[in-house]
């Protein structure tokens, strides 16, 4: 459960204050499927970063699963991200020196999980995404679609309650895009909240709830 | 995070940049190996000198004319002249001291020696028959000086190997007449021993009875008196007795200086130890240079892996974990460098010992532990700043980094 109330985010660029988010209020229930669309610079990514605890709002209240997170320390934010939030990026952000399965194990490794359990869970997730046969390949030996599937496996292996995807199909061809969106929707049906930031209206329209942002404000929420 | 996972993760990062890692290791390795080899040389020199002294016998007491003050030295110590010289009579009386096993008076000078038209300058040593045992010398041919009174001159001499070779060539020198200055001496023996003694190469020496040398150089005084005590324990007693005796003979004036092997030994020991520390310190500077290199490479590494750091943060790594990861990387580099440096250093020392068997070059334990310790500490210290910088990166900016 995500509850944002009156969120402002201001950046100081030179001697000017840029209002990236202005008075944003948003509630996302467990299992929701949202798309956030809007022109460049409208605050989509900033909103996603605030929700993902990578950025702190200048003003406003943010409750994640009934816990006020605006006052948490950096380390508390890190451990909250670890267990509750899965990130999916436009450029996949896989570590090129690690194999696919090692990339998927990375969040569990950071959490200090037992190696055997780590490997079991990673294999299970890779299998459910139909890329277990690529487990020992390095990212540069995988296609874009396969890389994004490994990244989705990494984002979901800790069983987060929310998946935040920033332009997940921005770097993929039509066919792979379709596959990736289908996988994300499948995960959403399993109960994870899904928030997708996208430029692509076709993908945006698939979401149950569509949010349109302009100049740091939510203009439309359906 | 588990320690093994930290190491594996770090190792995967290091092994991806082979050249960079290798250069780093070489820098660290040279630093550590330099400490190991240089301290081994210093320590080897110390042990070599101590062994040389020990071979002369630690019961030896050297009496020289002139009083050396605790502050500064009277010039007489170096020139060998004082108001009251040490004489043969002084030397003879020393034999009466209980605890004295043997003594040898010494007169030193330089003169032209020649045989059948071949001549050279040679150091001349005037002494007595007891010098042979006192110095543990061995004879290659003939006899040593005859056992006669110190005052009794005799036209005989014993020569070193170099003199034999250069003047006599293939001829057997024993029985030949050698000209020293304007006097003639019959060669009665050849010294086989090598090495240096009181600053002179034994093989270069021409040794005559003390009175004969005094006649050549026209002086009644002695350069040194070597006294060998019966045991090491009586050395302090013998020193007191010598001081008393000479004082009485020299109208109550204490105008001699007594040196023991122990004193010389401990002085050399101190000097060479200090040298070893100094050299180790200089070598340690190269480790600091390697440390700065580590810092540079870590900063480059962090700049290149900015997006990775952002990802780690997004995946829930705390600042502390990121510091641990990058510090481990720096320390792992330093440790591997230190380890290969230790191996290289020990190998180099083995080669040195092989080439110069007489020189006991092996690094002391403190140098090995110290070098490895400093290397790892350097990794920690110089890795800390880059690691902290990595931990404090803004995750959003880091993730956007290409």
* ipTM score of complex: 0.92
Rounded Cα distance, B44 and B46, in Å? 5
Task: Residue A95: list chain B partners with CB under 8 A.
Answer: 308, 311
Task: Residue A89: list chain B partners with CB under 8 A.
Answer: 399
Nearest to A4 by CA among A32, A30, A23: A23
Statement: residue A40 has pLDDT above 70: yes
A:90-129 residues touching chain B, CB 8 A cutoff: 93, 95-98, 102, 106-107, 109-112, 115
Predicted confidence at residue B169, as pLDDT, reads 87
The distance of B291 to chain A (nearest Cα, Å) reads 26
CA B369 to each of CA B32, B118, B283, B338, B340: distance values in angstroms, whole numbers, following the listed order:
10, 58, 14, 10, 14
Is A183 within the bounds of a domain?
A: yes
Predicted confidence at residue B198, as pLDDT, reads 61
Q: Quote the strand ranges of B233-320, DSSP E.
A: 256-260
Is A51 within the bounds of a domain?
A: no
What residues pair up with A213 in beta bridges, in sequence order?
A218
Predicted confidence at residue B402, as pLDDT, reads 67
Determine whether the interchain pair B396/A49 forms a contact, defined as Cβ–Cβ distance below 8 Å: yes
Is A8 within the bounds of a domain?
A: no
Of the partner residues A74, A81, A115, the one whose CB lies closest to the CB of residue B314 = A81
Query: What are the pLDDT digits (tens) for B206-252?
Result: 999 999 999 999 988 898 899 988 887 788 899 899 988 888 888 88
A109, A138, A158, A171: best to mutate for the B interface, most B CBs within 10 A: A109
CATH classification of the domain holding A82:
3.40.50.300
Statement: residue B3 has pLDDT above 90: no
Of the partner residues A54, A97, A112, the one whose CB lies closest to the CB of residue B13 = A97
Query: What are the pLDDT digits (tens) for B61-113?
Result: 888 888 765 444 555 555 544 457 888 888 888 888 988 999 999 999 999 99
Is A52 within the bounds of a domain?
A: no
Residue B135's SS3 state is coil
Determine whether the interchain pair B315/A74 forms a contact, defined as Cβ–Cβ distance below 8 Å: no
Is A103 within the bounds of a domain?
A: yes
CA A29 to each of CA A23, A160, A222, B25, B217: distance values in angstroms, whole numbers, following the listed order:
20, 14, 14, 54, 115
- Kindly state the percentage of chain B with pLDDT values over 90: 24
CB B119 within 8 A of CB B172: no
Determine whether the interchain pair B316/A115 forms a contact, defined as Cβ–Cβ distance below 8 Å: no
A:125-164 residues touching chain B, CB 8 A cutoff: 154, 158
pLDDT bucket at B278, cuts 50 / 70 / 90? confident
CB B210 within 8 A of CB B74: no
Rounded Cα distance, B307 and B311, in Å? 6
CB B107 within 8 A of CB B198: no
Tell me the residue range of the domain where A91 lies: 32-45+77-221
Determine whether the interchain pair A81/B315 forms a contact, defined as Cβ–Cβ distance below 8 Å: yes
Rounded Cα distance, A103 and B104, in Å? 85
Is A69 within the bounds of a domain?
A: no
Rounded Cα distance, B140 and B289, in Å? 55
Query: What are the pLDDT digits (tens) for B114-126?
Result: 998 888 999 999 9
Is A15 within the bounds of a domain?
A: no
Q: How many domains does chain A have?
A: 1
Predicted confidence at residue A24, as pLDDT, reads 92
Query: What are the pLDDT digits (tens) for B322-367?
Result: 999 999 988 888 899 999 999 999 999 999 989 988 788 888 888 8
Query: What are the pLDDT digits (tens) for B142-185?
Result: 999 999 888 888 999 999 988 998 898 888 999 999 999 889 99
Model pTM? 0.68
Determine whether the interchain pair A54/B396 forms a contact, defined as Cβ–Cβ distance below 8 Å: yes
CB A34 within 8 A of CB A195: yes
Determine whether the interchain pair B399/A93 forms a contact, defined as Cβ–Cβ distance below 8 Å: yes
Residue B62's SS3 state is strand
Is A165 within the bounds of a domain?
A: yes
Rounded Cα distance, B292 and B289, in Å? 5
């Amino acid at each position: 459960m995500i509850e944002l109330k009156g969120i402002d985010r201001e950046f100081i660029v030179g001697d000017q204050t840029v209002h990236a988010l202005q008075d944003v209020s948003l509630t996302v229930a467990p299992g929701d499927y949202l798309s956030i669309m809007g022109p460049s610079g409208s605050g989509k990514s900033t909103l996603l970063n605030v929700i993902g605890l990578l950025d702190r709002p200048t003003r406003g209240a943010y409750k994640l699963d009934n816990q006020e997170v605006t006052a948490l320390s950096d380390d508390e934010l890190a451990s909250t991200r670890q267990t509750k939030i899965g990130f999916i990026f436009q450029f996949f952000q896989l570590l090129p020196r690690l194999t696919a399965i090692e990339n998927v194990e990375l969040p569990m490794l950071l959490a200090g999980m037992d190696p055997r359990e780590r490997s079991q869970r990673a294999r299970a997730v890779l299998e459910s995404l139909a890329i277990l046969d690529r487990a020992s390949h390095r990212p540069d030996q995988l296609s874009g679609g396969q890389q994004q599937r490994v990244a989705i496996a990494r984002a979901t292996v800790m069983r987060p309650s929310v998946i935040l995807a920033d332009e997940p199909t921005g770097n993929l061809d039509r066919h792979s895009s379709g596959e990736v969106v289908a996988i994300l929707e499948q995960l959403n049906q399993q109960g994870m909240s899904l928030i997708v930031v996208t430029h692509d209206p076709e993908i945006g329209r698939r979401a149950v709830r569509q949010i349109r942002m302009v100049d740091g404000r939510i203009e439309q929420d359906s | 995070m588990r320690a093994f996972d930290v190491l594996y993760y770090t190792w995967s990062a290091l092994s991806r940049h082979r050249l960079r890692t290798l250069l780093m290791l070489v820098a660290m390795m040279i630093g550590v190996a330099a400490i190991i080899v240089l301290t081994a040389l210093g320590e080897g020199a110390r042990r070599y000198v101590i062994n040389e002294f020990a071979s002369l016998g630690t019961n030896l007491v050297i009496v020289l004319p002139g009083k050396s003050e605790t502050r500064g030295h009277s010039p007489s110590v170096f020139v060998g002249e004082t108001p009251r010289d040490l004489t043969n009579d002084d030397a003879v009386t020393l034999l009466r001291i209980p605890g004295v096993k043997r003594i040898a008076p010494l007169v030193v000078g330089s003169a032209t020696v020649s045989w059948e038209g071949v001549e050279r300058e040679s150091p001349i040593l005037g002494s007595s028959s007891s010098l042979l045992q006192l110095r543990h010398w061995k004879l290659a041919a003939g006899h040593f000086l005859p056992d006669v009174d110190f005052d009794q001159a005799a036209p005989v001499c014993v020569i070193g190997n170099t003199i034999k070779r250069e003047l006599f060539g293939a001829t057997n020198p024993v029985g030949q007449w050698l000209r020293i200055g304007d006097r003639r001496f019959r060669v009665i023996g050849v010294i086989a021993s090598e090495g240096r003694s009181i600053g002179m190469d034994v093989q270069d020496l021409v040794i005559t009875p003390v009175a004969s040398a005094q006649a050549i150089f026209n002086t009644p005084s002695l350069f040194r008196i070597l006294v060998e005590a019966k045991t090491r324990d009586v050395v302090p007693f013998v020193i007191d007795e010598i001081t008393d005796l000479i004082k009485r003979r020299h109208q109550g004036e204490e105008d001699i200086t007594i040196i023991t092997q122990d004193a010389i030994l401990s002085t050399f020991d101190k000097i060479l130890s200090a040298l070893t520390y100094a050299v180790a310190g200089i070598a340690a500077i190269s480790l600091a240079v390697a440390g700065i290199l580590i810092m540079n490479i870590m900063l480059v590494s962090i700049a290149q892996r900015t997006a990775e750091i952002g990802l780690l943060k997004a995946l829930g790594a705390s600042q502390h974990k990121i510091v641990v990861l990058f510090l481990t990387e720096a320390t792992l580099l330093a440790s591997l460098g230190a380890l290969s440096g230790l191996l290289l250093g020990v190998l180099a020392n083995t080669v040195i010992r092989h080439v110069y068997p007489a020189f006991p070059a092996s690094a002391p334990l403190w140098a090995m532990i110290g070098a490895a310790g400093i290397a790892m500490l350097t990794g920690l210290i110089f890795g800390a700043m880059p690691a902290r910088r990595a931990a404090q990166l803004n995750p959003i900016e880091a993730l956007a980094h290409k």
